[in-house]
Amino acid sequence: MVELMVKRLLLLILIASIWTAAGCARRQPPVAGPAAPPPGPPPAAAPAPPPRPAERVEEALPVPAEPLAEDEIARRTLDELNRDSPFKPVFFGLDSAELDEAGRSIVTANAGLLKKYPAWVITIEGHCDERGTAEYNLALGERRAAAVRTYLVSLGLAPDRIRIVSYGKEFPFDPGHTDAAWAKNRRAHFVITSK
């Protein structure tokens, strides 16, 4: 009850502040106000400039558009499951989205687990190491996740149980800058999204 009231109060304050900010912005004149005489006597060394309106210098302030994200308490048990995942990650070669033999055997093992728990829906995250560019890696991670999904489907899993997402090089598993760290970061990571 108290929490609800606090929430409503905060919402009111937010609306009021947005309304006030919008109102102020509207009330501002577009350019200069009326001309004002320059302070002090005109300097002698230079030709006296005729009086001119002072130019108004101003800028608007950005207003955040979104409310804060709400807590995702409902997913906590899944989080616990995912933090100690029964799925093994699949690793890739440099600049590559191809599953090698080791990769295929990991996907096969993960497929067995998915068949054992038919209610589970998963998201396969594609990740890259820092040796690719930020932009291209977003697509490469997608290709990695898609390669895993394609193989899972070929093993008989329903495509609608498998979502994919790429995080490029945004979330390295190992923040190091060594071959060993990079090898760990070029991965497809299995996340259970519902069960």
Partner 1 sequence: MHWALGLVGAVAGAVVLAAGPAPQEPAPTPPPQQPSEIAVVISGDPGTPPRYAVPDFVAMNPEAAEIAKSIAQVLWNDLAYEREFYMIPRDTYATVPAARTADQIAFPAWSELGADAVAFGSVQRTGATVRIEFRLFNVRTRQSVFSKEYTGTDANPRLYAHTIADEIHQQQRALRGVARTKLTFSSDRNRERIVGGVQDRDVKEIYISDYDGANVRRITTNRQLNLTPVWSPDARAIAYTSYRRGYPDLFVALIYQGVQQEPTKGGTQNWLPMFSPDGTRIVFTSSRDGNPELYIVNRDGSGLRRVTNHPAIDTTPTWSPTGTQIAFTSDRAGQPQIYIVGADGLNLRRLTTAESYADRPTWSPAPFNEIAFAARTGPGYDIKVYDLAGGVTRQITFGEGSNESPAYAPNGRHLAFTSTRSGRTQVFTIGRDGRGARQVTRDGSNYTPAWSN
Could you list the residues that contact partner 1 (CB under 8 A)? 18, 21-22, 25, 31-33, 36, 38-41, 43-47, 49-50, 52-69, 71-72, 75-76, 79, 82-83, 85, 95, 123, 131-136, 138-140, 142-143, 146, 163, 165-167, 170-171, 173, 189, 191
Give the nearest distance from C-beta 1 to partner 1 in angstroms.
25
> Which residues have a Cβ under 8 Å from the Cβ of 66 and sit 6 or more positions away?
none
Closer by beta carbon to partner 1, 82 or else 110: 82
3-state secondary structure (DSSP) of residue 34? coil
Query: Considering the complex, what minimum distance in angstroms separates the CB of residue 25 from partner 1?
Result: 7
Given a contact cutoff of 8 angstroms between Cβ atoms, the answer to whether 123 and 82 are in contact is no
Q: How far apart are CA 90 and CA 120, in angstroms?
A: 19
Alpha carbon 69 to its chain's center: 12
Work out how close the CB of 165 gets to partner 1 at its nearest, in angstroms, rounded to a whole number. Answer: 5
Taking phi first (over 0 means left), then psi (-120 to 50 degrees means alpha), and beta for anything else, what does residue 95 get? left
Residues written for the chain: 195
Q: Which is nearer to partner 1, 143 or 161 (CB)?
A: 143
Q: Between residues 62 and 156, which has the closer beta carbon with respect to partner 1? A: 62
Q: Please, which residue, 5 or 48, has the CB nearer to partner 1? A: 48
